[in-house]
Amino acid sequence: MPPTAPAEQGQLPATTYDELKRRAWAGRAEAYAETFGLLCALPIERLLDAALVAHGTNLLDAGTGTGAVAAAALGRGAHVTAVDPDPDMRRLARRSAPGAQVLDGALPELDLPDGAFDAVVANFVLNHVGDPLAGAQELARVARPGARVAVTVWPRPATELHRLWDDVVEHAGVAPVPAPPLAPASEFGRSPDGLGRLLTAAGLTNVQAATVRFVLRVDAEVWWSGPARGVASIGGIVEAQPPDVVARMKAHYDRLSRRYLAADGLLHLPTAVVLAHGQVR
Ligand SMILES: C[S@@+](CC[C@H](N)C(=O)[O-])C[C@H]1O[C@@H](n2cnc3c(N)ncnc32)[C@H](O)[C@@H]1O
C-alpha cells in the first residue's frame, strides 16, 4: 500500500513534495551555511523586528536551518527554541546558536504545545512545505494569543539574483529540472498579497506584508560553490549534469555574473524577499 494518500491526477501528494524537499536538503547543511545561507540571512533583522523579538521574548524559529535566525534572536536576549527536520542542519544550529533549544521537527506538525511562544518565525520555510496553509496554521497554533507570527518566502517573478541562474541554465542549453510540483490547491501567491492571504487564511489578524529589497554582496567563486555542491533548485540542476556540461555552465556563470562585479571585488546581486506578519487572535 502506498504510504501517502493518492494524489489528484497528475500531482504529487503533499507528503511526497515534503519528502523531495527534505531529500534536497539532506547532506547540504555545510554548503548551505557557506553559500545560500548568506542570502537567507539578509532579512533576519527585519523578520525579528516584524515578530517583535526583544529581550526576554520566548521565540520559536521553525525550519531554523543552520541557526542564523536563532543566533540573531539570542543576540537580542530572546529565549529561543528552534526546530528543523534535518539532523545536519540541527547540528550546525546547535553550534551557531548554542543558547537555543534545538529540536527535531517539521511543519505542519510540531510536537510543541498550543500557545507556547511569544513570537514565531519561519525564514524561507513555508516554501518547502507541501501544505503551506497547514504549515502557517501550525505556526499560529504554537503562538500565544496576541503573539506575532512572521515569515518570508522568495517572490515570483524571480529577482535578478535568481534570474542569473536561469540565464546560466538557458545559455548552457541545459534542460531545466522541474521543481517538485505543489498541488495547485496548496499554491499561494509569492507576493505580499499572496503571502498575506495565506496568513489570513491561517487565522491570523492584523496581517501586513511587503516586498523588501536587498543586495547580496558575495564572492563569485563562493556563490558558484553553492550550486556546485547541490544547494537549492539550481544545485539540483547542476548535480544532474555530466562534468563537461557543469564546466560549460560555470563558464557561462563566469561571463554572465561579471556584470554584477563591483569595485570591492564582490558580486552585488539585487534580490528581494516577501515578508509578512500577523497576530494570533
Ligand atoms: C532555505 S532553508 C532556511 C533555513 C533558515 N530558516 C535560515 O534562515 O537560514 C530551509 C530550511 O527548512 C527546513 N525544512 C524543510 N522542510 C521543512 C518542514 N516541513 N518544516 C520545517 N522545516 C523544514 C530545511 O531542512 C532547511 O533547514
Alpha-carbon separation of residue 31 from 89, 193, 263 (angstroms): 11, 32, 26
Tell me, using a 6 A CB cutoff, whether residue 152 lines ligand 1. Answer: no
Q: Is the CB of 273 under 6 A from ligand 1?
A: no
Question: What distance in angstroms lies between residue 84's CA and the mean position of ligand 1's atoms?
Answer: 6
Q: Give the residue, by CA position, lying nearest to ligand 1 atom 25.
A: 86
CA of 63 to the centre of ligand 1 (A): 4
Cα(123) to centroid(ligand 1), Å: 8
Residue 126 in contact with ligand 1 by CB distance below 6 A? no
Q: Is 17 in the pocket of ligand 1 (CB under 6 A)?
A: no
**Interhelix angle 220-228/243-257, nearest 10 degrees:** 150
Domain boundaries, the chain: 14-279
Q: Could you tell me how far CA 224 lies from the centroid of its own chain?
A: 19
* pLDDT (tens place) for every residue of the chain, 281 residues total: 233 333 333 345 556 888 888 888 989 999 999 999 999 999 999 999 999 999 999 999 999 999 999 999 999 999 999 999 999 999 999 999 999 999 999 999 999 999 999 999 999 999 999 999 999 999 999 999 999 999 999 999 999 999 999 999 999 999 877 777 788 899 999 999 999 999 999 999 999 999 999 999 999 999 999 999 999 999 999 999 999 999 999 999 999 999 999 999 999 999 999 999 999 99
Ligand 1 atom closest to 129 (CA): 19
Give the per-residue pLDDT at 7: 36
Residue position matching grid coordinates 511587503: 210
**What is d(CA 79, CA 57) in angstroms, rounded to the nearest whole number?**
6
Which residue's CA is minimally distant from atom 14 of ligand 1?
A: 63
156 lines ligand 1 (CB under 6 A): no
Give the position, in ligand 1's atom list, of the atom nearest the Cα of 37.
Answer: 9
Cα of 93 to ligand 1 centre, how many Å? 11
**CATH class of the structural domain 14-279:** alpha beta
* Cβ 232 vs Cβ 161: under 8 Å: no
CA 126 – ligand 1 centroid, Å? 8
Angle at 63 between CA 59 and CA 64, to 5 degrees: 65
**pLDDT at 10 (0 to 100):** 39
Cα(269) to ligand 1 centroid in Å equals 23
